[in-house]
Amino acid sequence: MSTETIENASIRRQFITFHSGDQEFGADIMAIREIRGWTKTTSLPHAPDFVRGVINLRGVVLPVVDLKARLGRGCTDPDPKHVVVVVKAGERTIGLLVDAVSDILTVTAGDIQPTPDLARDAQAEFVEGIAVLDNRMVTILSMDRLAASLVGEGLAQAA
Amino acid sequence: MDPMEAIKQTYFQECEELLLAMEEGLIAIQSGEADSEVINAVFRAVHSIKGGGGAFGFENLVAFAHIFETVLDHLRSGTLAADEEVATVLLRAGDVLADHVQAARNGEILAAEHDREIKQQLETLSGKEGGCDAAGDFDGIDFKPAVIALDDLDPAAQQGWRIHFAPHAALYAKANEPALLVRELATLGETAVTSDLSRLPALDVIEPDQAYFAWDIVLKGDIARDKIEEVFEFVVGDCELDIQPLETPAPETPEGLDVETMAPQPEVAAGQPEKKEAHAAAEAAKQTIRVDLDKVDRLVNLVGELVITQAMLSQRVAECKIPRSSPIGDGLNELEHLLRELQESVMAIRTQPVKSVFQRMPRLVRELAAQTNKKVRLVVEGEGTEVDKTVIERLGEPLTHMIRNAVDHGLETPDERAAAGKPEEGTVTLSAEHRGGRIVIEVSDDGRGINRARVREKAIERELIAASAQLSDEEIDNLIFMPGFSTASQVSNISGRGVGMDVVRRNIVDLGGRITIGSAPKSGSRFSLTLPLTLAVLDGMVVAVGDQTFVLPLAHIIESLKPQPQDIRPFGHGRHLLNVRGAYVPLVQVSELMGIKGAAKPLDGVVILVESQGTGRLALVVDAILGQHQVVIKSFEGNYRHIDGIAAATILGDGRVALILDVDGLVGRCRSQLADAELQPTGT
Amino acid sequence: MGKVILTVDDSKTMRDMLKLALAGAGHSVIQADDGVNGVEALQNAGAVDVIITDINMPRMDGFGFIDQVRRDPKNRAIPILVLTTETEPAKKQRARDAGATGWIVKPFEPAKLLAAVNRVAP
């Protein structure tokens, strides 16, 4: 889905951008359900370090992923100033722990560049493209791939 | 939706119920337990299926149902005896009728060859006693339609008709009303009505419920005779009726009176009730309503959330140091009480008798018996046992497979049975009952039992076990649940449908259930399924481990105890056993299993003795017991993967998520680890 | 003029079809699913202009129902139409013997049903 939208250069897309570590990331606004302050999670046994555990979101048990750790940049030490971005991708709902949400970005698909080949690190798997605007570089993440990586075999390997 | 389409859906739903009722009755007939009410019920079911089918133009279905119904009618009237042969044909006919309904539902028509043979058998049955053809039904009828002249050839018909109509008292007794008939005649053409008062006696001898009036009606116009007869259809036999073409000279008539003003109403004396505003909504009390399952699920979820909110509220109130005995506390207690009732009532909406699944099995057994040339009797017990609909929905497949397995592998051929001194007919028993807050479903047969030597050989052949393995009978029996195991020397077309007992077991485990097998050579096998009554809630013990909270399903807990130092024995590499009144049970710290740091050591904590059916016991060490609650089960597997040792999650009173331990999984894993340490299982 | 019509049939399909046809013609429909409930519904309804009943029903069949209705003097004048199939003339006669006013052959066309109702009730 993402490749197709990127190629269609005239389509305008909106992203919520947020900071995690020293980077700025963007997630398609259509996937974002809400943004919550950090609350203590219930740890999951045998979970990889980037799975912070689960929280209760109005009756739904929501796994929370530490974005920084997921992208292989070390674990976040969360405090109440951190936020959890609730993302719905397909049938799955997950929470993303990030440092702070910055703003809403409107770009045309043409502003998004494909991932540079050299980015063969842990985050490449989830990067949909790079949006460059006025000296800002926002890494657009695929929420679908992030959520899907929590279910099934992919996670076991990552762990 | 188009109203007719909605009614059609109702019809198919109703057909399902009727087919089940029919089959139940037919089985009773087969076993010789049917009384006239049972036969009537079967007749009614087929009759209703036919009636509705006619309304939707399902001609093949109606034609078949009609032949079927005719045989049932003979059975009902006693002209046909329900012997075994008849019962077998009827059951087969029931299956074919179900096929017709299914075909109609799919918008298809059943191929003629599908029901040809059974139709012939049914026709033979209804012809058996002779003299019971359609004509026989007319016997004793005193209201034959009037003989009709060939209207179209009758020139008089072009002019009109002269009708003499003299009601008998019986006409009024059946609430027919001459004035209405005359009114209806007037819709056919111009009428001139004269009253014939010749039968009116003197006033002092008039009986209120006798008929004294008669009418002569001249109806003008080109009207077919049968149109007129149709008007009088309901009263033929209850009146004198003479319909003549107009040119016939009218008989002398006495003084005429207008029928509209002189319509006799002998029944008025009987007192026609005053017409009041009737409430269309005042429908007779219905026994059931159909509700979209989504609506019920929404309700269940809402109630679940309400329970959590209430628990959170209680906790907040407690934190504010408001005593439980205050008015607020009283209100909360009341709320809690009502909520629990509400929750139970809502959960009860979803429960259904297992009958809906069990009902599908007799047909399966009949078909299997026919395919394998075995004689099989299916005994069904406890079909009224209720369980959550979600559980029922997922029972069909494992049950089907177990029944297949019982007939195909379990039961011997009639010859083999006879040789073994058993009755030729094998019995498969399907039963359900509530036991300890769960439902237990058993499928047993009186067949040959598990051929352990063969199972063992096969398992070695398939490299499932080592050739040198020492296995108990029970362990050998359980080999059939191993993936890729099949005992049939050649894949039969019955059991060899690509699913093995391993899949059955997985389905059951996925439902939070367990399956066990018991077998005795030559006398049969018994599979027991133990399942939760609902997939939505469970009674749990809430325990603390380090800074985490877990829930243990109460159904698995045998007891909790405070371990004494002398009861704990080291065993193998870093493992321990706990002596529980002489039985040594593996002792495991939940903190270790779940990777939690800072939890209590065994001697400082509490031991909870849990049992997993089939795999044995385990002593789990936790820091403390926090309480017992009914918790709403929340799956997180849609958003996350399965976690070993965790069954699901729930939300506690403080709003936080707690994980529910999977006792079966934990016991199985810990015991197999101990077995790896070359330890013989204990405590089973 | 809309009439109040009590329909008695154990088949919901048939009840729904009757209701569709009758209510569509402006009649008020009261439903019952067997003879026993039919008698009860009749008692509760106050006034009923026409009764339409099936014959084959559990608990109390159509014959029993008609008999029960006619036993009450105040119900003697209520026209009762029996739902029947063409193949059962003997049943028509039995229904008439029991006091039925007329019959409707299943499956019915709405127009025929309404004509039959009009034939028996003003």
Helix (H) or strand (E) holding A63: strand A60-66
Chains C and A are in contact, defined as 3 or more C-beta pairs closer than 8 angstroms: no
Q: How confident is the model at residue A10 (pLDDT cuts 50, 70, 90)?
A: low
Q: What is the pLDDT of residue A26?
A: 92
Q: For B514-559, write each residue's pLDDT tens digit.
A: 788 888 888 899 999 888 776 667 778 999 998 889 999 887 888 8
Closest CB to B639 among A45, A59, A93: A93
How far is Cα B469 from Cα B483, in angstroms, rounded to an integer?
Answer: 18
Please determine, for residue B492, whether its predicted confidence score (pLDDT) is greater than 80.
no
Chain C residues whose CB is inside 8 A of the B143 CB are: 93, 96
Q: How confident is the model at residue A118 (pLDDT cuts 50, 70, 90)?
A: low
Please determine, for residue B334, whether its predicted confidence score (pLDDT) is greater than 50.
yes
Residue A55 resides in a domain: yes
Please determine, for residue C80, whether its predicted confidence score (pLDDT) is greater than 60.
yes
Asked if B282 lies within 8 A of C44 by C-beta distance, the reply is: yes
How far is Cα B378 from Cα B366, in angstroms, rounded to an integer?
Answer: 9
Please determine, for residue A54, whether its predicted confidence score (pLDDT) is greater than 90.
yes
Q: Give the pair of three-digit tokens for residue A144.
A: 């679908």
Q: Between residues 18 and 47 of chain C, which touch chain B (CB distance below 8 Å)?
A: 20, 23, 28-33, 37-38, 40-41, 44-47
Q: What is the pLDDT of residue B498?
A: 45
Nearest to B641 by CA among A42, A67, A84, A48: A48
Please determine, for residue B31, whether its predicted confidence score (pLDDT) is greater than 90.
no
Please determine, for residue A88, whether its predicted confidence score (pLDDT) is greater than 70.
yes
Chain B residues whose CB is inside 8 A of the A62 CB are: 636, 639
Q: What is the pLDDT of residue A25?
A: 92
Q: What is the pLDDT of residue B351?
A: 81
Q: What is the pLDDT of residue B371?
A: 85
Q: What is the pLDDT of residue B497?
A: 46
Q: What is the pLDDT of residue B535?
A: 66
Write the DSSP assignment of B602-626 as a string of letters. GGGSEEEEEEETTTEEEEEEESEEE
Q: For B162-194, write each residue's pLDDT tens digit.
A: 888 888 888 887 888 888 888 888 888 788 887
Contact B599, B591 (CB under 8 A): yes
Asked if B657 lies within 8 A of A54 by C-beta distance, the reply is: yes
Closest approach of B572 to chain A, Cα-based (Å): 24
List residues bridging with A25 in a β-sheet.
A18, A139
- Coil, strand or helix: which one is B2? coil
**Chain B residue with Cα closest to A42:** B657
C115, C117, C118, C122: CA torsion to nearest 10: 180
Asked if B656 lies within 8 A of A56 by C-beta distance, the reply is: yes
How far is Cα B237 from Cα B168, in angstroms, rounded to an integer?
Answer: 9
Q: For C2-57, write each residue's pLDDT tens digit.
A: 888 999 998 888 888 888 888 888 888 888 888 888 888 888 877 888 999 988 88
Q: Taking residues A24-42, what's their average pLDDT?
A: 90
How far is Cα A85 from Cα A38, in angstroms, rounded to an integer?
Answer: 10
Q: What is the CATH number of the domain that holds A147?
A: 2.40.50.180
Chain A residues whose CB is inside 8 A of the B659 CB are: 42, 44-45
Q: What is the pLDDT of residue B659?
A: 93
Query: What is the b/e burial string over B571-591, where b = at least 16 CB atoms within 10 angstroms of the residue's CB?
Result: eeeebbbbbbeeebbbbbbbb
**Chain B residue with Cα closest to C15:** B7
Residue A158 resides in a domain: no
Chain B residues whose CB is inside 8 A of the C56 CB are: 40, 43-44, 47-48
Q: For B553-604, write each residue's pLDDT tens digit.
A: 887 888 898 888 888 888 877 788 888 888 888 898 898 888 887 776 767 8
Q: For B35-72, write each residue's pLDDT tens digit.
A: 888 888 888 889 888 888 888 888 888 888 888 988 88
Q: What percentage of residues in chain B have a pLDDT greater than 70?
A: 81
Q: For B406-463, write each residue's pLDDT tens digit.
A: 998 889 999 999 998 999 999 999 999 887 667 899 999 999 988 888 888 888 888 7
Q: What percentage of residues in chain C have a pLDDT greater than 90?
A: 5
**Chain B residue with Cα closest to A150:** B640
Radius of gyration of chain C (CA): 13
Residue-range domains of chain C with CATH: 4-120 (3.40.50.2300)
Asked if A54 lies within 8 A of B658 by C-beta distance, the reply is: no
Please determine, for residue B140, whether its predicted confidence score (pLDDT) is greater than 60.
no
How far is Cα C50 from Cα C77, in angstroms, rounded to an integer?
Answer: 9
Q: Give the pair of three-digit tokens for residue B505.
A: 């077991």
Q: For B281-308, write each residue's pLDDT tens digit.
A: 333 444 667 777 778 878 877 887 787 7
- B684 or B677, greater pLDDT: B677
Please determine, for residue B33, whether its predicted confidence score (pLDDT) is greater than 60.
yes
Q: What is the pLDDT of residue B132?
A: 40
Please determine, for residue A41, whether its predicted confidence score (pLDDT) is greater than 50.
yes
Residue with tokens 């190629």: A7
Closest approach of B169 to chain C, Cα-based (Å): 12
Q: What is the pLDDT of residue B551?
A: 94
Query: Does residue A48 have a cis bond before it (omega within 30 degrees)?
Result: no
How far is Cα B504 from Cα B491, in angstroms, rounded to an integer?
Answer: 18
What is the number of structural domains in chain A?
1
Chain A residues whose CB is inside 8 A of the B301 CB are: 59
Please determine, for residue A65, whether its predicted confidence score (pLDDT) is greater than 60.
yes
Residue A159 resides in a domain: no
Q: Indicate whether this complex's ipTM tops 0.90.
A: no
Chain B residues whose CB is inside 8 A of the C58 CB are: 40-41, 44
Q: Give the pair of three-digit tokens for residue B636.
A: 């997180």
Q: Taking residues B490-510, what's their average pLDDT?
A: 62
Please state the φ and ψ torsions of residue B469, each to the nearest 5 degrees.
-60, 135
Q: For B458-485, write each residue's pLDDT tens digit.
A: 888 887 788 887 888 888 888 888 776 7
Chain B residues whose CB is inside 8 A of the A92 CB are: 638-639
Burial class from Cβ neighbours inside 10 Å (0-12, 13-18, 19+) for residue B72 reads buried
How far is Cα B630 from Cα B60, in angstroms, rounded to an integer?
Answer: 53
Residue A51 resides in a domain: yes
Closest CB to B276 among C13, C47, C89: C47
Chain B residues whose CB is inside 8 A of the C80 CB are: 174-175
Contact B250, B162 (CB under 8 A): yes
Order of strands, sheet of B624-632, starting from the edge strand that comes earlier in the sequence: B624-632, B537-545, B548-553, B657-661, B646-651
- Coil, strand or helix: which one is C13? helix
B301 in A contact zone (CB under 8 Å):
yes
Asked if A44 lies within 8 A of B659 by C-beta distance, the reply is: yes
Q: How confident is the model at residue B276 (pLDDT cuts 50, 70, 90)?
A: very low
Q: What percentage of residues in chain B have a pLDDT greater than 90?
A: 9
Contact B211, B169 (CB under 8 A): yes
How far is Cα B595 from Cα B576, in angstroms, rounded to an integer?
Answer: 18
Q: Give the type of residue at B497.
A: R
Using the 8-state DSSP alphabet, how is residue B634 labeled? B
Please state the φ and ψ torsions of residue B289, each to the nearest 5 degrees.
-130, 155
Instruction: Give the relative orientation of helices C35-45 and C62-71 as an angle to the nearest 10 degrees.
Output: 30
Q: For B601-617, write each residue's pLDDT tens digit.
A: 767 888 999 887 556 78
How far is Cα B104 from Cα A21, in angstroms, rounded to an integer?
Answer: 64
Owning domain of residue A51: 2-153
Q: Are strands C50-53 and C4-8 parallel, antiparallel or unpaired?
A: parallel
Please state the φ and ψ torsions of residue B532, each to the nearest 5 degrees.
-70, 150
Please determine, for residue B244, whether its predicted confidence score (pLDDT) is greater than 70.
yes
Q: Which residue of B303, B549, B640, B646 is the best one to mutate when testing the A interface, meaning the one whose CB has the most A CBs within 10 A? A: B640
Q: What is the pLDDT of residue A96?
A: 93
Closest approach of C21 to chain B, Cα-based (Å): 10
Closest approach of A70 to chain B, Cα-based (Å): 15
Closest CB to B137 among C16, C28, C90: C90
Please determine, for residue B335, whether its predicted confidence score (pLDDT) is greater than 50.
yes
How far is Cα B128 from Cα B122, in angstroms, rounded to an integer?
Answer: 10
Q: For B350-368, write each residue's pLDDT tens digit.
A: 788 888 889 889 888 988 8
Chain B residues whose CB is inside 8 A of the A156 CB are: 641
Contact B420, B458 (CB under 8 A): no
Asked if C16 lies within 8 A of B6 by C-beta distance, the reply is: yes
Asked if B279 lies within 8 A of C45 by C-beta distance, the reply is: yes
